[in-house]
Each structure stands twice: as structure tokens, then as C-alpha cells.
Amino acid sequence: MDVLTPRTLPEALRLKAEHPGAWPIQGGTDVMVALNFDRGRPATMLNLNEVAELRGFTRADGALRLGSGLTYGEIEHGLLRDVLPALAEASRTVGSPQIRNRGTIGGNLGTSSPAGDALPPLLVEGAEVECASVRGTRRVALGEFVTGVKRNVLEPDELITAVWLTPSRAPQTFMKIGPRNAMVIAVVSLAVSAGDELRASFGSASPRPVLVTAPRDEADSFAERVAAAASPIDDVRGSERYRRHALRVLTERALKRVLI
Amino acid sequence: MRINGEEHQADCWEGESLLFALREKLGFPGAKNACEQGECGSCSVLLDGTLVCACLVLAAQADGHEVTTVEGLADGDRLHAVQQAFVDAGAVQCGFCTPGLVVATADLLRRNASPSDDEIREALSGNLCRCTGYAKIFDAVRLAANA
């Protein structure tokens, strides 16, 4: 196995083009588990830790560009807490401080797990995923980026370089159900915002991210609408019936928080 | 990489974790190997001053960086305040989780000198004690905070 450590984004993209089978690794919180448990042995790893262009976030014309190397810890404790409160709440529920110090939103998108905690709050905020390669850069709406359980539209020569969004500044919140507060994969999670319209997205209740919207004056039926949009499964963490029920309850609670 | 202030080199297989390199190649067995998936916190170390699970860092990612392990906390024979507090509070049962908890506690107190119980709980939420000795671990954290 080779570990390639590019120092710049152009170098990273060139290496990904030369080694399309390379596994990108940023925080390693998913990739290292796969390696440690021998679930994969890529010929090449692409260590993105030293690529400064992927870190932090920048503002441009009212929009925000979140680098794919932005960690949950940076979202939870930094300036974004006020701008993207639901994403900050979601970040705080990820794993433990150790995990949040390493895990990144780019990694969450790349893994494309239905339980990815960053996905519902990002979808509610209308996020787009920036995918780059030596061929150029494109932006894909988050709802189109994930195509199924752990599947996405990323081409073999592409890297996730950023997430773009224009903060709605709408009241918003994130909720998550699990056996304890820390270190849990969501049994079900939910992000809700109440701006010009009601918007919701959930985790662990559909193979790909789903956005549910309704006019504000239809708040009474919104919980039912959210639960109906889900397509949960029975698995070790919860049943289909429980997940749908929990989404109903969480949506009602979330609306009480955000309809102010 | 720099470990506890000194340069070290190791010949690693490229897919190796920092934890494996520390324990098996570099002679730093303080960080413990248990879950290898970031669930238990027993391999907690500081990477450039940030608390991480060494099992989730590729050894190659630590190249050129500063690693602090539990072995690097004491000043010679003088225990770090957190280590002393764990001894004084009897916060050690089987001892397996202790190095990770000591590193995580030192990290917490460096950022927050007098944490509330909720803050302690959140800061240590990634460190499991299978002996369930949390009450005395909390005593030790409070003791170290007041030291």
C-alpha cells in the first residue's frame, strides 16, 4: 500500500486522476475503521490532511463555502454555530470529542451513510456539494449527490472539496434518537427549519436524503407529512414502526422550538 | 514525528494506525488498544495538541506532526496534576481505560480549568470504563481541577 500526501489541491486532484482507486482519507473516522477491521485494502491512500484549501470555511457574496476538511469540532465551537445552528447541534451529537476533532463534513458526505448526522441539516439549508477533478469543478445539490445507501455520484477521479450554501437564518434545530447522548449512530435523526416555509430532513429513515417542505400554515399536518416521506427499515438499531413514530414525535417537538 | 517532544522514526506498513505504530514500533504502550474503531477512547492521545483516538489516525498522517501520549504528561518523576489526582482519588480499577481518561482529562482542564459536571460528562463521553468506575473518575477530575 502507498500513502500519498499532497500539499496542495491541484496536486491532490492530479494524484486522484493518476490513482482513481485511491481511498481519500481526511479525519479517518470511517476509513480507519475499515482498514483496522480489514474490510478493504486499497493499493493507494490519499491523505488529504495537508491540503490547506480543504480546511475551514469562507464567505462569498452571502454564500458560505465549507471546506470538505471542516471538522465537527470546528462547526460546534466556532463562528458557524450562530450561522448554521442546526448543523452545529448535529455536529455536537457526533461520536465523542475525539471523533468530532477528526471527523469532517467531506467525510460524512463521502461515506454517504443514511445515518450521516451532517446530511439532514445541510439538506434543509439547501447545500450543494462541490466535486473537483483535473477536468474541472461541479456543484451537485446534496439531494442528488447521494444516490443510495453509501453511494453517491462522485466520479473515480473526483474529490469532495467543499459544501456550498446560503444560510437561511431561519429558526432551525436538530434532534437525534439513540441509546445515549454520545457515541451513537442515529436510530433516527431530524433537522427542521421554519423560514418562509417549513423544511425537514431526516437521517436513518431513508436510503438517501429526503427534503420535506410545507407552507407554514400547514404546521399541524407537518409531522404526519415528515413521517410519511420516510422509508425506514427494521434493523439492529430500531424498527420501521418505531422510526416512523419517532419522526412524528420529533417533528412536533422541533416545530415547538422553531415556530417562534 | 515528534513524540512527547522528541523526534522519532519508525518503519511502518503504510496502512498502520498511529496507535499500532506507537505501541508496536515506537515503544509507547501507554495508549491502549481495545476497540480499534474510536468507540472506547482508551487510545486517546494529543495530535498537535488536539485530542484524538490514535486508532483512527493513519500513522503516515502523523508524519511531521507533534504527538503527546500519556507518557509525555509527567515532568520526569513528578506526575502531572491529573495523574496525581487519579492516584489520590483511587480512580483506577483495572487501569485499562486510565491512560485515555488521563489524557482526555488533561485536555479538558487545559481548555476549561473548572468544568461543571455536565462539561466533564461531555468531555469524557468518548472514554469508556468497563469497570464502570465513573464516580471516582469524576472525583479525580474535580480534584485535578482544584489542584
Question: The complex's ipTM?
Answer: 0.96
pLDDT at B89 over 90: yes
Q: What is the pLDDT of residue A61?
A: 86
Signed CA dihedral, A56, A102, A35, A49: sign only:
positive
- Which H or E run includes A163? strand A159-165
Average pLDDT over residues A25-29: 98
Q: What average pLDDT does this structure show over A246-250?
A: 98
- End-to-end C-alpha distance for chain A, whole angstroms: 55
Using a CB-CB distance cutoff of 8 angstroms, which residues of chain B are in contact with residue A47? 58, 60-61
Query: Which stretch of A33-37, B8-12, B26-30, B92-96 has the lowest confidence by average pLDDT?
Result: B8-12
Nearest CA in chain A to B49: A101
Q: Enter the C-alpha cell of residue B71.
A: 507518557
Q: What does the pLDDT read at residue B37? A: 96
Counting one residue from A and one from B, how many pairs have CB atoms under 8 Å apart?
88
User: Across the interface, do A101 and B50 touch by the CB < 8 Å criterion?
Assistant: yes
Nearest-10 Cα torsion for A74, A15, A39, B1: -60
Q: Is A245 strand, coil or helix?
A: helix
| Residue A117 banded pLDDT, cuts 50, 70, 90 | very high
Write the DSSP symbol of residue A238.
Answer: B
What's the pLDDT score for residue A26? 98
Contact A226, A202 (CB under 8 A): yes
Mean pLDDT, chain A, rounded, equals: 97
CA distances from A69 to A6, A49, B45, B76 (A): 14, 8, 21, 37
Please tell me the distance from the alpha carbon of residue A129 to that of residue A109, in angstroms, as a whole number: 8
The better pLDDT of the pair A189, A61 is held by A189
Q: Cβ of A182 and B36 within 8 Å?
A: no
One-letter-per-residue 3-state SS of A58-80? EEECCEEEEECCCEHHHHHHCCH
Question: What is the bridge-based pairing of β-strands B66-68 and A57-60?
Answer: unpaired
Give the pLDDT of residue B147.
81
Superfamily classification of domain B2-72: Beta-grasp domain (3.10.20.30)
User: Which one-letter amino acid corresponds to residue A122?
Assistant: L
Instruction: Give dist(CA A68, CA B64) in Å, integer.
Output: 22
**Contact at CB, A182 and B63, closer than 8 angstroms:** no
> Is B55 near chain A, with CB under 8 Å?
yes
Question: Stretch A11-23: mean pLDDT, rounded?
Answer: 98
Give the pLDDT score at A260.
Answer: 80
CB B100 within 8 A of CB B41: yes
**How big is the CA angle at A97 (ends B51 and B144), to the nearest 5 degrees?**
65
Question: Which of A33, A38, A96 is the best residue to mutate to test the B interface, defined by the most B CB atoms within 10 Å of its own CB?
Answer: A96
Residue A237 grid cell: 438499531
Query: Residue B135 has which C-alpha cell?
Result: 464516580
CATH number of B81-146: 1.10.150.120
* Chain A interface includes B53 (CB < 8 A): yes
Let me know if the fold of B2-72 is the same as that of B81-146. no
pLDDT in tens, B109-131: 999 999 999 999 999 999 999 99
Grid cell 457526533 in the structure block, residue: A94
Instruction: Give the rounded percent of residues in chain A with a pLDDT score beyond 90.
Output: 96
Side-by-side strand order, sheet with A159-165: A57-60, A63-67, A159-165, A128-133, A136-141
Question: Is pLDDT of A196 > 90?
Answer: yes
HSE-CB of A204 using CA atoms within 13 angstroms: 26
pLDDT of A148:
96
Grid coordinates representing B73 are 504528561
List the domain boundaries for chain B: 2-72, 81-146
Q: Which of A5, A49, A98 is nearest residue B53 as measured by Cβ atoms?
A: A98
Q: How far is A73 from chain B (nearest CA, A)?
A: 10
Q: Give the tens place of pLDDT for each residue, A141-174.
A: 999 999 999 999 999 999 999 999 999 999 999 9
Alpha carbon distances (Å) from A183 to A72, A82, A91: 14, 24, 12
**What pLDDT does A116 receive?**
96
pLDDT band at B105, cuts 50/70/90? very high
Where residue B12 falls among pLDDT bands split at 50, 70, 90? confident
Collapse the DSSP code of A229 into the 3-class scheme (helix H, G, I; strand E, B; otherwise coil) and give the result: helix
**C-beta atoms of B51 and A97 within 8 A:** yes
Q: How far is B105 from chain A (nearest CA, A)?
A: 12
Decide if pLDDT at A65 tops 90. yes
Q: What percent of chain A has a predicted confidence (pLDDT) above 70?
A: 100
Average pLDDT over residues A71-85: 96
Comparing CB atoms, the residue among A33, A35, A47 nearest residue B38 is A33
pLDDT of residue A181: 87
- Binning pLDDT at 50, 70 and 90, where does residue A92 land? very high
The stretch A48-61 carries a mean pLDDT of 96
User: What is the 3 state secondary structure string of chain B?
Assistant: CEECCEECCCCCCCCCEHHHHHHHHCCCCCCCCCCCCCCCCCCEEEECCEEEEHHHCEHHHHCCCEEECHHHCCECCECCHHHHHHHHHCCCCCCCCHHHHHHHHHHHHHHCCCCCHHHHHHHCCCCCCCCCCHHHHHHHHHHHHHC
Residues pairing with B138 in the sheet:
none
Indicate the range of A32-36, B8-12, B55-59 predicted with least confidence.
Answer: B8-12
- pLDDT at residue B7, as a whole number: 96
* Confidence band of B45 (pLDDT split at 50, 70, 90): very high
Query: CA torsion B134→B139→B142→B147, rounded to 10°?
Result: -130
For range A120-138, the mean pLDDT:
98
Question: What average pLDDT does this structure show over A99-114?
Answer: 98
**Those residues with Cβ within 8 angstroms of residue A74's Cβ, 6 or more apart along the chain or in another chain:** A56, A80
Q: Please give the domain boundaries of chain A with CATH numbers for all domains.
A: 172-258 (3.30.390.50)
Give how far B56 is from chain A: nearest CA, Å.
5
